[in-house]
Structure 1
Amino acid sequence: MRLGGRLATSVALVLGLLALTGQPAQAAYFNTYTDIADTPNTSCCTGVQGFAAGSTYLYSIKNHTNVDDVSVIYRVHKTTGERVLMTNGTNGGTTNTWLGHGNDMTIVDIDAQHHLFVVTMKASGPQLVRLRYDGTTYYHAGSYQVRLNGAAFAPSGINRVSVSGTTITFLFKSGRTIYNGSLPLRASSGTIDLTKAFDLQVEGALVNGAPVSDLGTFLTQGIFYDAAKKVLYYPLTKDNRSIVLVYRNVSPTTTGTAPAATDLSFRITSSAYSELFEIEGVGISDGRLYFNTNRANETGAHDGVHVFNGYVA
């Protein structure tokens, strides 16, 4: 009886310490992936940019690297890997001149029609473009100015938060800062005035339970926000390394600095693509985390769309 009492007391103390420290027994860490499809260079478009994951298909932009004047969009079946170069239904052909850098995009359904909202990163002209798509054809459907404190502002990330009968609300990202913005549901033009929501912790964030010494020098990419679970995924890249940090319990009302999760992280350090392994965008579909990449080795570019192995949100 005394032994049992001591054991119970010891277990209670350990559980109490775990509750106080908030440290899990083992961090969930994902560092392998499966290729779904290549997204080869086409026309002058060589740089992978924005990404969005739909219920059946994955969408990936490629643009004219360092020029940002021409883009294409690939549609990939997330299960079979079937790849189609989408058609520009407004002007014909497969290229368009509307998307600028096209760094990130998000899917929004309006009146039972599918749309992609794409951030252009343009200092002038529209900072946000809306495309309506049906099957493998897309059409220009809207252009918008984005403003912060009255000045033109070019965010590099976007994700839908909610859609009501009158309004679409978004989270936008620039660097490590998240902003709130909204549009009337059916507006094809207009101005989006952003307000700051919160910052994202990067330095000191744990990847597989340990900090990455040079994480502050990684480039930031797009974002994905799981509104139902209030979880934000944030890819960062440097050379042949890509990391996805995760932020829980964040929403448009969050302020201050959101801490990165200590018990969940993703990283690919690629020896196969030693010159470049750059995750550009991520998205959740049926609980799985999909992403697109710029990849390169001594044989050339090997860009594609992929899925992390083992993770279910």
Structure 2
Amino acid sequence: MRLGRRLAIVVGLVLGVLTLVGQPANAAYYNTYTTIAGLPNTSCCTGVQGFAAGSTYLYSVKNHTNYDDLAVIYRVNKSTGDRVLMTNGTNGGTTNTWLGHANDMTIVDIDSQHHLFVVTMESTGAQLVKLRYDGTTYYYAGSFQIRLNGAVAAPSGVSRVSQDSTTIRFMFKSGRTVYNGSIPLRANTGTIDLTKAFDLQVEGALVNGAPVSDITTFLNQGFFYDATKKVLYYPLTKENRSIVLVYRNISPTTTGTAPAASDLSFRITSSAYTTFEIEGVGLSGGILYFNTNRSNADGSADGVHSFNAYVA
């Protein structure tokens, strides 16, 4: 073999290795979804907000858009799509006045009873509301004030991290910043003092192997922390586009700025809907579920969905 040809082959191999190292095609990318059930508007409530995924059911709040004074909760069977508008067991009917903007929520089982913890984003009163639910009925169970350095904090996201015989630990998110906070296991009222944990990288984050030029103009939504695998999922939305960024090796002791994963991302760019906003995400059985505000010229088409093909 001639030297020139051998050199060409060696150079080709080196370039091939370099190409593979930075090859966007190697990134796992999910951009299709399945709708499990619609979330129709009610007489009061038109805005999809907080979401939580349980082992059998998916829970989604709709509130009174632009007023934050009334809310309802939908329960959807993740396998069959059967949908129920849950009953307010404390006051009767289906609406409640406790949840404010209800931007995000998380499920916590306490003494074998199911609970939803919901962030209200209110600047006065309670910033975290505790609901107990049994079947298709929920009950007001308590509320908490949230403080950061002594001042009211109104986080937009909440996710359960862990619990033991005395304490429930949460991560809260405000914008791109994640905080730690906790409450006694059986507490129904009190103050949660936040401590800053880390920031989430957004600018320069890769989606399908490439940065999104206007990602800093996307709106913040809720988030979900998979404590078992130490992975955080963070949805961002703009008009008919929704992105979910992923962060690995996350724990309550993480500090600084957590980098977004370069090899795993989610995006839906909808041609059918002028508004396609993922509000919240959650894992159940390894499937990544989410709820949406969706609309087009035909009106609202809000729903709960799952990403196709992805298994955590």
Task: Quickly name the TM-score band, shorter chain normalised.
Answer: over 0.9
Distance 2:23 2:112 in 1: 44
Q: Deviations over 1:220-255 (max 9, x none)?
A: 100000001000000000000000000000110000
Tell me what 2:300 maps to: 301
Is contact 2:144–2:192 with CA below 8 Å preserved after alignment?
A: yes
Supply the AA of the counterpart residue of 1:219: L
CA gap 1:36/1:18 in 2 versus in 1, 3 angstroms: same
Other-structure match for 1:290: 289
1:163 aligned partner: 163
**Counterpart of 2:185 in structure 1: which amino acid?**
L
Q: Which residue of 1 aligns with 2:4?
A: none
Counterpart of 1:3 in structure 2 is none
Tell which deviates more after alignment, 186-195 or 22-31: 22-31
Deviation at 1:44, TM superposition (A): 1.1
**CA drift at 1:208:** 0.4
Matched-pair contact (CA < 8 Å) for 2:23–2:209: no
The answer on whether the counterparts of 1:236 and 1:244 sit within 8 Å (CA) in structure 2 is: yes
Match of 1:256 in 2: 256
State the Cα deviation string for residues 171-206 of structure 1 (Å, max 9, x = none): 000000000000000000000000000000001000
Structure 1 residue 48 corresponds to structure 2 residue 48: yes
Residue of structure 1 equivalent to 2:76? 76
Distance 1:194 1:75 in 2: 30
Asked if the contact 2:128–2:146 (Cα under 8 Å) also holds between the matched residues in 1, the reply is yes
Equivalent position of 1:122 in the other structure: 122
* Alpha-carbon distance in 2 for matches of 1:44, 1:110: 31
Q: Provide the rounded CA distance (Å) in 1 between the counterparts of 2:110 and 2:54.
A: 15
CA offset digits 1:255-286 (Å, max 9, x no partner): 00000000000000001012x00000000000
Q: Letter of the 2:36 partner, please give it.
A: I
**Code of the aligned partner of 2:303:** G
| SS in structure 1 at match of 2:73 | strand
- Residues 24, 209 of structure 2: 8 Å contact kept: no
1:42-121, aligned counterparts within 5 Å? Answer: 42-121=42-121
Count of residues in correspondence between the two structures:
304
Superposition pairs of residues 185-196 of structure 1, within 5 angstroms? 185-196=185-196
Q: 1:137: which partner in 2? A: 137
Q: 1:33 to 1:99 in 2, by over 3 A?
A: same
Specify whether residues 191 and 32 from structure 1 end up closer, same or farther in structure 2 by C-alpha distance, changes over 3 A only.
Answer: same
- Asked if the contact 1:18/1:24 (under 8 Å) is kept, the reply is no
Deviation track 1:87-110 (CA, whole Å, cap 9, x = no partner) reads 000000000000000000000000
Structure 1 length-normalised TM? 0.93
Alpha-carbon distance, 1:43 to partner: 2.1
Segments of structure 2 that go 5 or more residues without pairing to the other structure are 1-6
- Counterpart of 2:91 in 1: which secondary structure? coil
Counterpart-to-counterpart distance in 1, 2:164 and 2:24:
38
SS in 2 for 1:29: strand
Q: Percent identity?
A: 78
**Unmatched segments (≥5 aa) in structure 1:** 1-5
Cα deviation digits, residues 31-89 of structure 1 (max 9, x gap):
00000000000121000000000000000000000100000000000010000000000
Q: Tell me, what secondary structure is at the counterpart of 1:232?
A: strand
Instruction: Report the secondary structure of 2:278's partner residue.
Output: strand
8 Å Cα contact 1:115/1:132 also seen in 2: yes
TM normalised by structure 2 equals: 0.94
Q: Which runs of 4+ in 1 moved over 4 A?
A: 12-19, 21-25
